[in-house]
Amino acid sequence: MKKTLFIFGFLFLNFLTFAQEKTAFEIYTGPSKAILPFEVIPTNFNISTSNPLSYHLGLSFITEIAPTWQLSTQVEFFKRHLGTFAFSSQADTIRITGYSTDVIPLIALGIRKNWLGFSHSYYFQPSLSLMKSPAFLDVYEPEPGDEFNGIPLGLVSASNLGLGIRLEGGVKRYLTGGNYLTLGLRYQQGLRLMDQMNAPIFYRGNLEHVLVAKSKGSYLGAYIGFGISGQKFKKSPSHSNKHIPDELNLQKEKAAGEDGVYFFMLGGIRLREQLLQNPYTYSNISGQFQLGIGYYFKDFSIETGYGNYSYNNNYQLDWDGQKAVFMTFEHFSAGGIPLTLKYHLPLDERKNWKIGPSFSGFLILSNTADSPYYYGGGQRTTTIGDQTYEATSSFEALSTNWRSMFSYRAGLFTERRFLNSSFLSLQFSRNFGSPVLSRLVVDYQIEGQNINQIHEGGLNGYSLELSLRFPIKVLMAVN
């Protein structure tokens, strides 16, 4: 409760700053790559790792403190892959991942230097950040005896909070009323160890190595954003702060509604098709994002770019009338190329409101669950109420035929003109036709009984998405 009040207090204070000082508010998103140093103990140069591309998104509150200097406060979430896949060139070496894709929240405080221009400007911003480790890592305790040469196996939380130094820079392109687009690069260097993954690696059935991957919350990312201006910069020889005439607003509104090319970014959540019944609501939810380019023509549009869909193959053991006596989280992601067709039905004469159907195909090009050498298991103990349960579990991944196959999505969306120059839409979709991306065979031994399960994971389910599209013709109207 205190953490929730802290976050809402932080957002409220920055909203007051925005409303009273009339500075700027930014929203941004883009791809990111976690920086995870790793070590194989004992050393084995045949074992390498794969750390797939992910994403980050956030909000920035900007306050002017001098003609070309601003104070920046940020709230951000970035998806970090704790633990990495270990592959080997030898077919009989086993991979164990212990893979986690939980998002990391952070707040950051920085100073931004601007180099102003008439239609665009450049900026550089150093910041300090405070990160929060995922809650389930804070209470993780390895099972007794579950170690290798004194190294506890599994997820180990080293610190509840992390500290970081951030450097970012980019370009701002001004739009109607001083609003702007941002495009930039960001690097965050963590200063203290937050979490550690000690993943066992088996060779011919024997535990021979441990892959140690450490996370300080470091990552490298690129982003695109949209800035809402509350107060223009002070006048300077290179940049005017006069209010843009109504004629230009109308010109931009007209340009935004015309046929032509546009950029878009999309983010959303997806509810898996086969729901698990347990107290962990997030066990059925995954995220997704897309970035790309589209073309609008006579109320129709077509989009493509890059997309990344997270998915899970979580599984549980229900026993003795209890749900999820033992719960196991298996998170993965699939990357590829989306192709989307939409029809935009105007609801008013100025085409400010639109609704319509949407249909997409998603060509799957990568899958982090792709390995035929993936299994594990061990002793497990849990206590529910006054009852303690003990079990032995093992799992093994079976290969799946997913390469260059499609997943599909159909839904309805509503779209609203946003600040004259862009369109914001909300869409509800049904994901279907996904190939099986992960198939796990699980065996439990509990109270003298053997229980066998097969679990499959993919992209099918129901999704809720928020997207922003920005027509390129609006940029031409600025000049």
Q: What secondary structure does DSSP assign to 378-430, as a single string?
A: EEEEEEETTEEEEEEEEEEEEP---TT-EEEEEEEEEEEEETTTEEEEEEEEE
Q: State how far the Cα of 36 lies from the Cα of 211, in Å rounded to an integer.
A: 12
- The rounded radius of gyration (Å) of the Cα atoms in the chain is 25
Handedness of CA 260, 261, 265, 266 (dihedral sign): positive
Q: Give the fold, CATH level 3, of 1-244.
A: Porin (2.40.160)
Q: State how far the Cα of 264 lies from the Cα of 146, in Å rounded to an integer.
A: 47
Q: Is 352 helix (H, G, I), strand (E, B) or coil?
A: coil
For residues 172 and 120, the answer to whether their CB atoms sit within 8 Å is yes
Q: DSSP strand E in 204-259: where? A: 206-215, 219-229
Q: State how far the Cα of 461 lies from the Cα of 276, in Å rounded to an integer.
A: 13
- Look up tokens 């896949």; give the residue: 85
Q: State how far the Cα of 99 lies from the Cα of 430, in Å rounded to an integer.
A: 27
Residue 276 CA: distances (Å) to CA of 73, 126, 314, 368, 377: 38, 43, 8, 22, 21
Q: State how far the Cα of 294 lies from the Cα of 304, in Å rounded to an integer.
A: 6
pLDDT of residue 204: 62
Q: State how far the Cα of 226 lies from the Cα of 383, in Å rounded to an integer.
A: 49
Burial of 190 (0-12, 13-18, 19+ CB in 10 A): buried
Sequence-distant (≥ 6) Cβ neighbours of residue 97 within 8 angstroms: 83, 84, 85, 86, 199, 374
pLDDT of residue 262: 92
Q: State how far the Cα of 381 lies from the Cα of 125, in Å rounded to an integer.
A: 48
Q: Is 101 helix (H, G, I), strand (E, B) or coil?
A: coil
Beta bridge partners of 413: 356, 427
Q: State how far the Cα of 360 lies from the Cα of 343, in Å rounded to an integer.
A: 12
Q: State how far the Cα of 96 lies from the Cα of 83, in Å rounded to an integer.
A: 10
The per-residue pLDDT string of the chain (479 residues; one tens digit each, 9 = 90 and over) reads 445 444 545 544 554 444 444 578 899 988 898 888 888 888 877 676 767 788 888 999 999 888 899 999 999 988 877 666 655 555 554 555 555 666 789 999 999 999 988 778 999 999 999 998 875 554 445 555 577 888 877 777 788 899 999 999 999 988 766 788 899 999 999 999 988 888 777 766 677 888 888 889 999 999 999 888 765 444 444 444 444 445 666 776 777 778 889 999 898 999 998 888 888 777 888 888 898 999 999 999 999 999 989 898 888 889 888 888 888 878 788 899 999 999 999 998 888 899 999 999 999 998 877 765 566 666 778 888 888 888 888 777 777 888 778 999 999 999 998 877 788 999 999 999 999 998 888 988 898 889 999 989 999 999 999 998 888 887 766 55
Domain limits of the chain?
1-244, 258-479
Q: State how far the Cα of 217 lies from the Cα of 163, in Å rounded to an integer.
A: 8
CATH topology match: 1-244 vs 258-479: yes
pTM: 0.64
Q: Around Cβ 401, how many Cβ atoms within 10 Å?
A: 8
Beta bridge partners of 100: 82
Task: Specify the CATH number of the domain 258-479.
Answer: 2.40.160
pLDDT of residue 144: 53
Sequence-distant (≥ 6) Cβ neighbours of residue 143 within 8 angstroms: 378, 379, 380, 381
Phi, psi of 238 (to 5 degrees): -105, -5
For residues 162 and 211, the answer to whether their CB atoms sit within 8 Å is no
pLDDT of residue 143: 54
DSSP character at residue 40: E
For residues 155 and 194, the answer to whether their CB atoms sit within 8 Å is no
Handedness of CA 112, 117, 121, 122 (dihedral sign): negative
Beta bridge partners of 389: 382
Range 371-386 burial, b when 16+ CB lie within 10 A, else e: bebbbbbeebeeeeee
Handedness of CA 445, 451, 452, 458 (dihedral sign): negative
Residue 116 CA: distances (Å) to CA of 62, 69, 224: 16, 11, 19
- Look up tokens 């013709």; give the residue: 473
Phi, psi of 474 (to 5 degrees): -65, -35
Q: State how far the Cα of 140 lies from the Cα of 240, in Å rounded to an integer.
A: 56
Range 31-67 burial, b when 16+ CB lie within 10 A, else e: bbbbbbebebeeebeebebebbbbbbbbbbbbbbeee
